[in-house]
Amino acid sequence: MFFARMPTVLDCVRRTLTRHDLVSRETRVVVALSGGSDSVALAYLVRELEQTAELRVAGLAHFNHQLRPAADADQRLCETMARSVGWLFVVFREDVAVRARRERRSLEDAARTARYAFLERARVTLSGDVVALGHTRDDQAETFLLRLLRGAGARGLAAMHPRAGVMIRPLLDCRRRDLRAYLDARQIAYVEDESNHDVGIPRNRVRAELLPLLERRFNPAVVDVLARQATLARDDWRWMEAAAEALSSDVCRHEGDLWTLDVAGLTGAPLGLRRYVLWCAMTKAARGRPVSFDHVEAALGLLGPDDGGASLDAPGQRVERVGPDVVLRSRPRGTVGRAAPQRPNLFRFPLSIPGEALLAEAGFAVSAELSLPDSMMGLDVPGFSRDPAVALVRRDVCGKGLAVRNRRPGDHFRPVGLGGRKTLQDFFVDRKVVRADRDTVPLVVDEADRIVWVAGYGIDEEFRVTESTQPVLILRLRVLGGAA
């Protein structure tokens, strides 16, 4: 009679490595070794894979957080283990509690940051290609539950990925109990972290109380179910990332401390994608400050048709509706809790042809008139007016209507003679326009919001009159209360 062989933990690791293409025969692996059962099992499983030429071991790396009385004993066990298998061993000690106080962050966050920074240094020191971490299927289920309880979306519920840069997780499909059985069968020693019994730590409470309750009262296979849900969330997240990257390239412009999003392009996308693209932009503008679901929902409220001039404060930034765009203005560190600097009033007025727009806020008026024989006296056509307060532009390129407004974040145009596009900000700098005056310079724009004329400074190449037979529109700038 034939009996199928039960898969072993080594089979499980092989399957994970293959399915996610984590290593090859030439991959040099650094094993992150804490001394606990998971990482010790990982080291011996990787050793077996090296013996069958499925990968190469670069060495072991141990980080001593100096948080527990037994931390030095853990380090000695790891050193002994490295000597027993003949592997290179890198160790680093840091008082993580001191770091946490100094950087004003949680102990868990400080420990994670310090540990991952060390592992990257160890990888370089040992000439490794990847660092193998000992996270298991149980860890995945715990992470999923923790993030679910905190209110995460697909990105958070994806939990731990098999690969994150140079970090790989070969044990992500293995149960912790199977790894301990593997070690016990071989009489391999490992340490038990006494802090794992502290249920004041959220992860430990999930491990010691919530998961056993779910297994006992709801589903004995709940760990596998939650791990599979993390996989599904991860697949959804990968699709969302790709779609959001494509949409962002179309609707989002970034210049310095400004992120400008086109409202029409954004609202044409599904709500979930819209929300994620906005979250990504807000997270970049926040420069490290956390952006929550509520912050994004508030910003989504600015996408409506009647929100011109509306604004709100979000972590590290000011979010405002400016005409057809939503603009995120990053605020420097140290200004949190202070009032955002006031911007000059935004203005936009229609300009009839013929007609005149009075810009009381800026102290100017801009007029437009069709060219007539007597109105062309003293003007150079084809070419330019000798008067900077007068511009000659092609009427046939201007479309059906014009408007006059002041500048918006991300404005750009093609100044005549430059041979390429230039941001309005750089144009003002080149022309030495005083910073305080830049928001009051009138801009004549066409129906597509393209800059036709930066009043008093220059026109866009697209609208330049090049032949006397072309229909001409004359634009004039005058100071209110006197001649220009």
Check residue 202 and give its pLDDT. Answer: 84
Give the pLDDT band (50/70/90) at residue 384: low
**Is residue 142 within 8 Å of residue 157, measured between CB atoms?**
no
37, part of any domain: yes
115 and 190, same domain (yes or no): yes
For the chain, the distance separating the N- and C-terminal CA atoms, rounded to the nearest angstrom, is 104
Residue range 388-444, pLDDT digits in tens = 889 999 988 888 889 999 888 888 899 987 778 888 888 888 888 877 788 889 999
d(CA 299, CA 313): 9
Residue range 286-307, pLDDT digits in tens = 887 888 888 999 999 888 875 5
**Is residue 50 within 8 Å of residue 78, measured between CB atoms?**
no
Residue after which a domain boundary falls, among 330, 360, 375: 330
310 and 167, same domain (yes or no): no
Mean pLDDT of 89-103: 88
The residue whose two tokens read 């007597």 is 374
356 and 321, same domain (yes or no): no
397, part of any domain: yes
Residue after which a domain boundary falls, among 330, 356, 388: 330
Q: Does position 340 have pLDDT exceeding 50, yes or no?
A: no
Check residue 375 and give its pLDDT. Answer: 45
Check residue 2 and give its pLDDT. Answer: 52
- Residue of 468 and 284 predicted with greater confidence: 284
- Residue 277: name the closest of 246, 303, 302, 304 by CA: 246
Mean pLDDT of 360-381: 66
Q: Does position 32 have pLDDT exceeding 50, yes or no?
A: yes
For residue 298, the domain's CATH number is: 3.30.465.60
The residue whose two tokens read 């060495």 is 59
d(CA 340, CA 75): 50
205, part of any domain: yes
243, part of any domain: no
214 and 317, same domain (yes or no): no
369, part of any domain: yes
Check residue 11 and give its pLDDT. Answer: 94
Give the pLDDT band (50/70/90) at residue 361: low
Residue after which a domain boundary falls, among 230, 245, 277: 230
Look at the chain and report how many structural domains it folds into: 3
Range of the domain at 385: 348-479
d(CA 429, CA 438): 10
- Check residue 208 and report its DSSP letter: I
212, part of any domain: yes
**Within a 10 A sphere around the Cβ of 238, how many other Cβ atoms?**
13
222, part of any domain: yes
Mean pLDDT of 338-354: 69
288 and 399, same domain (yes or no): no
Q: Does position 339 have pLDDT exceeding 70, yes or no?
A: no
Mean pLDDT of 115-125: 93
Mean of pLDDT over the chain: 86
For residue 388, the domain's CATH number is: 3.50.40.10
404 and 305, same domain (yes or no): no
d(CA 269, CA 398): 30
Q: Does position 134 have pLDDT exceeding 90, yes or no?
A: yes
387 and 315, same domain (yes or no): no
d(CA 393, CA 422): 19
13 and 118, same domain (yes or no): yes
d(CA 475, CA 472): 10
Check residue 333 and give its pLDDT. Answer: 57
**Is residue 386 within 8 Å of residue 440, measured between CB atoms?**
no
Residue range 216-258, pLDDT digits in tens = 999 999 999 999 999 999 999 899 989 999 999 999 988 888 8
104 and 139, same domain (yes or no): yes
Least confident range from 45-49, 364-368, 370-374: namely: 370-374
352 and 443, same domain (yes or no): yes
Which segment, 10-14, 262-266, 477-481, is predicted with the most confidence on average?
10-14
78 and 215, same domain (yes or no): yes
For 262, what's the count of Cα atoms within 13 Å in the CB-facing half-sphere? Answer: 14
For residue 149, the domain's CATH number is: 3.40.50.620
366 and 225, same domain (yes or no): no
Percentage helix, strand, coil for the chain under 3-state DSSP, each rounded to 5 = 40, 20, 35
% of the chain exceeding 70 in pLDDT: 91
336, part of any domain: no
- Residue 260: name the closest of 270, 272, 250 by CA: 250
% of the chain exceeding 90 in pLDDT: 48
Which segment, 42-51, 305-314, 420-429, 438-447, is predicted with the most confidence on average?
42-51
Check residue 44 and give its pLDDT. Answer: 96
- Residue of 372 and 110 predicted with greater confidence: 110
**Is residue 152 within 8 Å of residue 56, measured between CB atoms?**
no
Q: Does position 104 have pLDDT exceeding 90, yes or no?
A: no
Mean pLDDT of 14-27: 95
Check residue 483 and give its pLDDT. Answer: 39
